[in-house]
Amino acid sequence: MAILSNLELIRRVPLFSTLTQAQAELVAEAVIKRRFKRGETIVEQGKKSNFLAIVLTGHARVVTQDGRGREVILATLNPGDYLGEMSLIDDQPHSATVRAEVQTDVLILGRLEFARCLPENTSMAYAVMKGLVQRLRQADRKIESLALMDVYGRVARVLLEFAQEDHSGRMVIRERVSRQDVAKMIGASREMVSRVMKDLEDRGFIEVMADGSTVVKDRLGTLG
């Protein structure tokens, strides 16, 4: 398989899709590709990194800790997603830690090059703003969930967000659902999440398959 050039790589990133050829070439000269091993930190909460990182392959997890050191999972980043833009914009330390969930390749764009791109390309600036708004909406939904929903509703919402439609029209979570991860997302204990998941399965809201995938039934939406 041929190794893609930096220019070819950034052309595949939605954030850079509106760059002119000249702008794309400048960015291609400035970015570097970096590989992070599973569990390796990409950016760390409370510190500055002064770069924008765009996920090329793999997955990364956005986490934060409370005053007692308990970890909360805020989001999962997939190929095409980016991180670090908030710190670049306001010059403040990162508000969360991002770790590679599996081996993950990213493109790194430094502060100077990032700042140069925004005023020269309004579409890219709009894309960054749109991404910030989406994250704000996700945060609002999480706050609403924690404040207004019981554990059943919170678990249901997470499962619905994970599920994707398969070729037969079913909503399926293809990978095995980690009770510990769900617990960190909704602010509950692993034991409580396990009990809720077992009850949802017994009541026919979800079906756990032999391969570890989970089929999410339509009526689960009545809980979330």
32 sits in which H/E element: strand 32-36
DSSP label at residue 52 = E
| Per-residue pLDDT at 2 | 45
Q: How far is CA 87 from CA 123, 177, 195, 209, in A?
A: 20, 32, 39, 42
120-170 confidence digits (pLDDT tens): 677 777 778 888 888 788 777 777 766 657 888 889 889 988 888 888 888
**pLDDT band for position 1 (cuts 50, 70, 90):** very low
The residue behind tokens 């997470």 is 158
Long-range CB contacts for residues 72-76, cutoff 8 Å, separation at least 24: 72/184, 72/185, 72/187, 73/181, 73/184, 73/185, 74/139, 74/142, 75/135, 75/138, 76/101
Spacing of C-alpha 143 from chain mean position: 17
Please compute, for residue 100, the number of CA atoms within 13 A of its CA located in the half-sphere on the CB side. 20
| Per-residue pLDDT at 7 | 85
| Per-residue pLDDT at 131 | 80
26-43 confidence digits (pLDDT tens): 888 888 999 999 999 999
DSSP label at residue 59 = -
| Per-residue pLDDT at 137 | 82
Res. 59: pLDDT tops 90? yes
Percentage of residues in the chain having pLDDT higher than 90: 36
Residues 6+ apart with CB under 8 A from 163: 171, 172, 173, 214, 216
What is the residue-averaged pLDDT of the chain? Answer: 86
Q: Cα angle at 64 between 38 and 131, to 5 degrees?
A: 85
183-200 confidence digits (pLDDT tens): 988 888 899 999 999 999
Q: Answer whether 35's CB lies under 8 Å from 56's CB.
A: no
The model's pTM: 0.69
Residue of higher predicted confidence among 19 and 215: 215
Q: For the sheet containing 171-173, what is the strand order?
A: 164-165, 171-173, 214-216, 206-208
**Least trusted range by pLDDT, from 80-84, 123-127, 208-212:** 123-127
How confident is the model over 103-115, as a mean pLDDT? 89
Handedness of CA 146, 149, 152, 156 (dihedral sign): negative
| Per-residue pLDDT at 103 | 97
One-letter amino acid identity for 45?
Q
Q: Give the SS3 label for residue 72.
A: strand
DSSP label at residue 219 = G
How confident is the model over 63-84, as a mean pLDDT? 85
One DSSP character per residue, 109-155 reads EEHHHHHHHHHH-HHHHHHHHHHHHHHHHHHHHHHHHHHH--HHHHH
**Least trusted range by pLDDT, from 10-14, 40-44, 65-69:** 65-69
